[in-house]
Amino acid sequence: MRYFAMAMFVLIMGAAAGCSISSTASDLRGIKGIDGDKLTHINTRNYAIHLFMTKPLWGDATLNTTVQNFADEAKRHGATKVRIVQSDEDTMWYLIPVLGFIFTPVATNVAGDALLP
């Protein structure tokens, strides 16, 4: 049963690979940023399958690509500056023994504030 659940997770990751998902929060109840700027909080996540844990095979969940997607989302909201407050990369090589070393599910997350003029 445990291997079935892991296999289902890998299949779902495979279907979601190549996805970049961004969520935003703009209604901060009138609270301004540290410098008095109006801000929007953005959280961007990328999911992919990498070959041997490092080379993007299906999608690209490297930190560089995720930061670029974060910046694109900030530009879409009209931001002139951003402040990245958190980033995380999860390389899930351990999900399926041996196969996880070759085809590795990767999830990367970048969160921060888009500072609006």
pLDDT in tens, 27-47: 777 777 777 778 889 999 999
Domain positions in the chain are 2-116
Q: How far is CA 97 from CA 2, 3, 36, 49, 102, in A?
A: 12, 10, 51, 15, 10
pTM, whole model, 2 decimals?
0.77
What are 45's strand-pairing partners? 21, 109
- Look at residue 53 and tell me whether its pLDDT is greater than 80: no
* 100 vs 8, more confident: 100
